[in-house]
Amino acid sequence: MSQKNITLFVYGTLRRGEINHSFLKQANQKLQQCWVKGELHDTGAGYPIIRKKESSRVYGEIYQVSKEELSQIDELEDYHPNRPDNLYERVEQTVYTNQGSLKAFVYIEGKQCISPSNCIKSGDWKEYILTNSERPIYYFAYGSSMDHTRFKEANVHPFFQFIMGRGTLQGYTLRFTLPTNEGGKADIVEEGGNVEGKVYLIDRQTLMYLYEEEGVSRNVYRPTFVWLELKSKQMIEAVTFVVVDKQKETAPSEDFKKEILRGGKEFLSDNYYDLLERHIAILEKGEY
12 has pLDDT over 60: yes
Verify whether residue 229 is a known catalytic residue: no
- CATH top-level class for 134-285? alpha beta
Q: Model's pTM, two decimal places?
A: 0.93
Q: What is the pLDDT of residue 286?
A: 83
Q: Where are the alpha helices (DSSP H) in the chain?
A: 67-76, 125-131, 148-153, 204-213, 254-264, 270-285
Q: 3-state SS string over 179-220?
A: EECCEEEEEEECCCCEEEEEEEEECHHHHHHHHHHCCHHHCC
- Give pLDDT, residue 1: 46
Per-residue pLDDT reduced to its tens digit, 169-199: 999 999 999 999 999 999 999 999 999 999 9
Answer yes or no: is pLDDT of 2 > 70: no
In terms of average pLDDT, the best of 2-11, 16-25, 77-86 is 16-25
What confidence tier does 146 reach under pLDDT thresholds 50, 70, 90?
Answer: very high
Select which of 77, 196, 214, 259 is catalytic: 214
- Which class would CATH give 6-130? alpha beta
- What is the rounded average pLDDT for all residues in the chain? 93
In terms of Cα–Cα distance, which of 188, 192, 12 is closest to 109?
A: 12
Closest CA to 156 of 221, 228, 205, 216: 205
Cα 56 to Cα 243: distance, rounded to the nearest angstrom: 16
Q: Alpha-carbon dihedral of residues 51, 52, 57, 59, nearest 10 degrees? A: 50
Same fold, 6-130 and 134-285: yes
Distance CA 47, CA 61 (A): 16
Average pLDDT over residues 40-62: 94
* Residue bearing the bigger pLDDT, 117 or 43: 43
- CB proximity list for 230: less than 8 A, separation 6 or greater: 164, 165, 166, 167, 199, 236
Longest dimension (CA), the chain: 62
Q: Residue 135: what pLDDT?
A: 77
Q: How far apart, in whole angstroms, are the C-alpha atoms of residue 191 and residue 7?
A: 18
Question: How would you class 22 by CB atoms within 10 Å of its CB: exposed for 0-12, middle for 13-18, buried for 19 or more?
Answer: exposed
Q: What is the pLDDT of residues 123-137, one digit of tens each?
A: 999 999 988 777 789
Positive or negative, the CA dihedral 84, 87, 91, 93 is positive
Structure confidence at residue 185 (pLDDT): 97
Residue 62 has pLDDT above 80, yes or no: yes
Q: What percent of the chain has pLDDT over 70?
A: 98
Q: Is the pLDDT reported for residue 114 higher than 70?
A: no
- Tell me the per-residue pLDDT of 18-31, one tens digit each, with 9 for 90 and over: 999 999 999 999 99
- Closest of 159, 147, 140 to residue 197, by C-alpha: 140
Alpha carbon distances (Å) from 271 to 62, 196, 265, 277: 31, 10, 11, 10
The SS3 of residue 222 is: strand
| Contact (Cβ atoms closer than 8 angstroms) between residue 260 and residue 186 | yes
What are the boundaries of each domain within the chain?
Answer: 6-130, 134-285
Does pLDDT of 165 surpass 50?
Answer: yes
Is the confidence at residue 143, as pLDDT, over 70?
yes
Name, in order, each residue with C-beta under 8 angstroms of 98's C-beta and a sequence gap of 6 or more: 31, 33, 189, 190, 191, 246
3-state secondary structure of 261: helix
Task: Report the pLDDT averaged over residues 108-122.
Answer: 83
| pLDDT score recorded for residue 188 | 98
